[in-house]
Each structure stands twice: as C-alpha cells, then as structure tokens.
Amino acid sequence: MSIVVKIEEKLYQNRYIVDESRPHIQIRNDAVCKSCESQACTVCCPAACYTKNETGSVTLATDGCLECGTCRVVCQDKENIQWDYPRGGYGISYKFG
Amino acid sequence: MVEKFDAIVIGAGPSGNAAAYTLAKQGLNVLQLERGEYPGAKNVQGGIMYAAELEKIIPDFREDCPTERHIIEQRIWLLGDDNYIGTNYRSDAFNSDKPNRYTIIRANIDKWFSEKIREAGGLQICETTVTELIRDASGKVIGVRTDREGGEIHADVVIMADGVNALLARRTGFQQELAPQNVALAVKEILFIDPELIQQRFGLKDEEGVVIEIMGKVTKGMVGTAFLYTNKESLTIGIGCLISDFKEGAIPPYKMLEDLKNHPVIKPLIEGAEMKEYAAHMIPEGGYKAVPQLFGDGWMVVGDAAHFNNAAHREGSNLAMASGRMAAETVIELKQAGKPFNAANLAAYKKKLDDSFIMKDLKKYRNLPGIMHENKQFFGAYPDTLTAAAHSWFTVDSVDKKTKEKEIMKSFVKKRSIMGLVGDAIKLVRAVR
C-alpha cells in the first residue's frame, strides 16, 4: 500500500505571514542546481519548497517554508542557497509549535 | 544616541527565556529580541518538558504554567512492518503533587514564560530579527543590529539563544555550518481529538499522560526515532532522522510521517483526530564532539544554538533552560564583581557547564552519534529480527520450543553473524557506558 501525501493540505493548516516578493531564501546560481546530481533539497525539504523543473534545474517557492534550515545544511558543499530569516514578524507563525 | 543595556538576549525559546528571566529577576537591564510575531511563533518541540530545570528558575511554576498532561507512563516501542515489540513503564507514583515530566504545547509555554520575564522587569521586543553582531576594533561583541529602522543596540554582553540554525554565530565565524550527520530533521503534527477518546485509548484519567518513543521500520532504515504524545485535547505525532540519511534516502520527511500515521499499530490510536498544524525543526544531535565555542569577548551561546541536546535521552529543553540560567548567572556574578565581560571572565560559564549534567551527560554519550551513524543495522535489521522472533515465540503451534529457539537464533545470525552480534553489543555498551 502506497500512501499519497498532499503536502499542500498539511501546509494549509499553518499560519503564515507572507512577505510579498521578498523571499528569505534564494538559489544563488541556477546552473549549479542543473549540474547537481542529488538535488537533495527537492527530497529533504519538509514543506516541498523545492521542485525539479522542466529545464532540469530547481524551482524554489518559499511561501510554505517552515524555516527549519535543512536545505542550507544539505546544500552546504555547493553553497548554492542564500538562507536568511524572514524580516521580523514574517514567515511561519506557529500556533502550537 | 544608541541605546545600551546590561545584556541582550537573542531569541525567546527555553534557553533565551531562562537567561532573560534570571537576569531581569536580579534587576539587570535586559533586552530580549524575538523575530516571531509572538514568543513561540518560531519554536517547535515534541514536546516533553522536564520540571527540574524550570523549577530552579521559577520554583512555583506549577501554579500557572500551562502544561498539558503529567506523564505517568513511558512506552518504548520497536515497530516492525505491521507489529511492535516494546516496553512500558507506568507508575501511580508519577501522580505526585510535583510531577517530574509534562507534555506541553510549546507556544503556550513560551507565552507564559515571556509574561514572567515582563513581570520581572525584562524588556521583550518581538517581530525583530537580529541581522548581525556589532563588534569593536578588537573583535569584542558590543551589541546587535536588527532589521528595524535605526536598529543598532548596544550591551555589555550578548547571549545568543537563537536556536539550532545559529545564523549569527555562523556568520560571525564563531561556528561552522552544521554537518548533515550531526543534525536531525523532525516533522510533526498536532492532532485534536476528544479528550475522552485519549483517556479511553491510553487508559488515563484526568490530566494523566502517556508518551511513546518509537524506533524501527518507520524510519526506513535511517537513523531516527518517532514519537506519539498525549496532550489534554490533542495528540502530537512526529518522526525525525539524521539529515545525512534523508539526503541519501530519497524519502521526503512528510511521506515518512504519513506512513507512521498509517502504521497498523499507530492508526487506531489517532483515528478520528483532526490535524491542526504541521511543523518541522532541526535537532542538534552531534553531541559532545559537535559542541562549538561557547563564549568569547562580549558573547555567550546557549541552548540549541550551542548544540546542547542529549539525543539518547530525548532531552533538549532542560539543557536549554539550564544553559540559559548558567549564562545569566555568569553575567550577574561578573556584574556584581565589577569585572569586564571578556573571554577570560566569561570562561566561568563554560566551567559551570562542565560541572553540570549538561557537559557530563554529553560527554558520557560522546561516541553514540558516530556509532549510530555508522551502524544502520540498529534501525533496519534488528527491528525486523526482533519482531519476527516475538511473533514466532507468541504463536502457539505444533513446533517444539527448542526448535523455535534455534530458529530465532539462526535468524539473528543470518542477519548479522555471530561476530556481528557480539560486535554490536560491544559497540552499544561502549557508547552508553
């Protein structure tokens, strides 16, 4: 039995204060993602913010980000992720944590 | 003019709150900065809170602290594909006036703690991200810069309680990036459910609680553990594995969590519950060998940011609170003695840590993270063979018991060989001795 997981349904329950058009994480160089064999960010991110795109590179959408830091850790060899906290008051806002 | 405080505490988690409260209580002029919308907005914990360390800081915390259930039963389960083998310890003696362990909902605790800090005279500002440490020509930390306008603030000492990511310490060059084998990623959900169902399913009354720590097939052979905790009106369920394993495993963490929720042993316990939040957080699990530089001219680092977490015993928030308190006490002592907050004097903080359970426990288990990382059989082969053995033993059929024993032994040897089994036993003993 394989269970299909819809990550959107999980993230939908969370409270986010989105900082429009100011993503706190950025991919530095698209070409580095293209040549990255593992693209581990696409598997490890618990909010599925990273997806492999049709050009063979990686697309990042930070709106569902849980600010855990995993992507930065898995990409540290390539140093291709610019990782910051969102501005004060923005981003995930856990009701329960 | 730039405002100046005795101390700045960065972060409003258990370590930062312990530090800020201890400082404020002694009348020091303390500023606590938190990037979240409110205290707790960025924090995630399983969560079990151990009373002892909070009691040292706020002795009468039980009067109004919003804990969930006090824990009267601990279960440790090894999950197979459709089964578990486990051990439970339950005692009515845990129903004391002063219970030792509570399940908690983290945001509730952080709000409560922050209120105590404000009552004690501490100044807390939320929605403010510290962007960098300000250092003088000699390299001494003299304050912080924030993302607010004119956001430069000075202090005699800065206590970094900014959590596992510890961006400030890393950016300043005080710490290296976390190695993937030294940090776990855990995901969890909070599931709301009728409290009567919790009491029925776990055999509880009033505010009694059960916690289940889980190992086995659910982590798909990766180094990791799962948990299921009972709160007043909710259950929290989560699973975490080393990031080095997630990196190689090609299984997304949320898929692993969903499989756990659908495991035949777990599913009936959470049936009918409504998911209200999904969270993810990194846990520093490198242990003693991964502890970074803890102090320097004008700064100290506490809690998760200092890698204070005892993975073997699932302890983190108590190490956080203890380290926050010790950092604050160091500040208070230096202030009273009129001494400067340089590295030589702040070394007193490290001495306190070394003399406490924090460094003693981390040191005791210093080899465990490496052994677990290099010996995946503890998470793959063993759960399978153990549950299969139990299944054979408890199935009453016409096979005589001696033959059963032989078959069980054979199954262990097949998986690991005699030398493998002996070697694993030695490794485990060495790791926890």
Q: Which residue has the higher pLDDT, B399 or B105?
A: B105
Q: Please tell me what DSSP assigns to residue B178.
A: P
Pick from A14, A46, A93: CB nearest B254: A46
Token digits of residue B63: 């009067």
Q: Which phi and psi (to 5°) does residue B10 adopt?
A: -100, 110
pLDDT at residue B2, rounded to an integer: 83
Which of the listed CATH numbers 3.50.50.60, 3.20.20.70, 3.30.390.10, 3.10.450.30 matches domain B3-66+104-177+290-364?
3.50.50.60
CB contact under 8 Å between A94 and B110, yes or no, is no
Residues of B in contact with A44 (CB under 8 A): 185, 243, 246-247, 252-253
With CB atoms and an 8 Å threshold, state whether A46 touches B189: no
Please tell me the predicted confidence (pLDDT) of residue B151. Answer: 82
How many residue pairs bridge chain A and chain B with CB atoms within 8 Å of each other?
146
Q: Which of A7, A11, A44 lies closest to B243 in CB terms?
A: A44
Q: Sign of the CA dihedral A47, A51, B304, B18?
A: negative
Residue B250 has pLDDT above 90, yes or no: no
Bridge partners (DSSP) of residue B141 are B135
The pLDDT score that the predictor gives to residue B382 is: 82
Q: Give percent of chain B with pLDDT exceeding 70.
A: 100
Of A17, A43, A97, the CB nearest to B246: A43
CATH of A22-85, one of 3.30.70.20, 3.40.50.720, 3.40.50.2300, 3.40.50.1970: 3.30.70.20
Give CA separation, B304 vs A89, B139, B300, B309, B331, in Å: 21, 24, 13, 7, 20
Q: Per residue in B116-173, pLDDT tens?
A: 999 999 999 999 999 999 999 999 999 999 999 888 999 999 999 999 999 999 999 9
Residues B8-22 have a mean pLDDT of 98
DSSP state of A75: T
| Contact flag B280-A66 (C-beta cutoff 8 Å) | yes
Tell me: the pLDDT tens digits for B272-331? 999 999 999 999 999 999 999 999 999 999 999 999 999 988 999 999 999 999 999 999
Among A70, A71, A84, the residue to mutate for chain B (most B Cβ within 10 A): A70
pLDDT in tens, B95-121: 999 999 999 999 999 999 999 999 999
- B394-404 average pLDDT score: 89
Q: How many residues would you count in chain A? A: 97
pLDDT of B381 strictly over 70 = yes
B167 and A85: CB-CB below 8 Å? yes
**CB-CB under 8 Å, A74 with B180:** yes
Helix (H) or strand (E) holding B277: strand B274-284
Start-to-end C-alpha separation, chain B: 56
Interchain CB distance below 8 Å, A95 and B277: yes
DSSP string, B22-83: HHHHTT--EEEE--SSSTTTT-----EEEHHHHHHHSTTGGGT-----EEEEEEEEEE-SS-
B247, B249, B255: residue with CB nearest A5: B255
pLDDT tens string B189-218 = 999 999 999 999 999 999 999 999 999 999
Interface test with A, best of B10, B251, B261, B278 (most A CBs within 10 A): B278
What mean pLDDT is predicted for residues B32-36? 98
pLDDT tens profile B314-339: 999 999 999 999 999 999 999 999 99
The pLDDT mean for chain B works out to 94
pLDDT at B269: 98
Count CB neighbours of B433 within 10 A: 8
How far is the alpha carbon of A19 from chain B, nearest alpha carbon, in Å?
Answer: 13
Thinking of the domain B181-284, which architecture would CATH place it in? 2-Layer Sandwich (3.30)
Residue identified by tokens 């009552």 is B119
- Using CB atoms within 10 A of its CB, is residue B240 exposed (0-12), middle (13-18) or buried (19+)? buried
Quick: pLDDT tens for B55-91: 999 999 999 999 999 999 999 999 999 999 999 999 9
B219: tokens are: 């982590």
The mean-pLDDT minimum among B200-214, B336-350, B360-374 falls in B360-374
Chain B interface test: which of A1, A19, A65, A73 (most B C-beta within 10 Å): A73
Residue B172 · residue B143 · CB < 8 Å: no
A12-57 confidence digits (pLDDT tens): 999 999 999 899 999 999 999 999 999 999 999 999 999 999 999 9
Whether the upstream peptide bond of residue B121 has omega within 30° of 0, thus cis, is no
Option in A46, A92, A96 nearest B190 (CB): A96
**Burial classification of residue B121, based on how many CB atoms lie within 10 Å of its CB (0-12 exposed, 13-18 middle, 19 or more buried):** middle
Q: Can you state the angle between helices B106-119 and B14-25, rounded to 10 degrees? A: 20
Interface residues from chain A to B (CB-CB < 8 Å): 1, 3, 5, 7, 10-11, 13-14, 17, 38, 40, 43-48, 66-70, 72-74, 76, 83-89, 91-97
Q: Do A70 and B107 touch (CB under 8 A)?
A: no
Instruction: Give the pair of three-digit tokens for residue B418.
Output: 């005699």
- Residues B344-365: what's their mean pLDDT? 97
For residue B392, pLDDT beyond 90? no
Instruction: Look at residue A1 in the predicted model and tell me its pLDDT.
Output: 52
Instruction: Tell me what pLDDT residue A67 has.
Output: 98
Question: What stretch(es) of chain B map to CATH 3.50.50.60?
Answer: 3-66+104-177+290-364
- Residue B416 pLDDT greater than 90, yes or no: no
Helix, strand, or coil (residue B325): helix
Comparing CB atoms, the residue among A74, A86, A97 nearest residue B40 is A97
Length of chain B: 433
Distance from C-alpha of B346 to C-alpha of B159, rounded to nearest angstrom: 11
**A66-91 pLDDT tens trace:** 999 999 999 999 999 999 999 999 99
For chain A, which residues make up each domain, given as ranges?
Answer: 22-85
Question: Locate tokens 């988690």: which residue?
Answer: B13
**Strand, coil or helix: what is B125?**
strand
Residue B431 pLDDT exceeds 90: no
Location of structure tokens 């928030």: B317
Residue B379's pLDDT is what? Answer: 81
Residues of A in contact with B177 (CB under 8 A): 72-73, 76
Closest residue by Cα to residue A68 from A91, A51, A52 = A91
Nearest chain B Cα distance for residue A10, angstroms? 6
Alpha carbon separation from B359 to B48, B323, B346, B352, B353 (Å, rounded) = 21, 10, 17, 9, 6
CA–CA distance, B229 with B218 (Å, rounded to integer) = 17
| pLDDT at residue number A48 | 97
Return the pLDDT at B427.
81
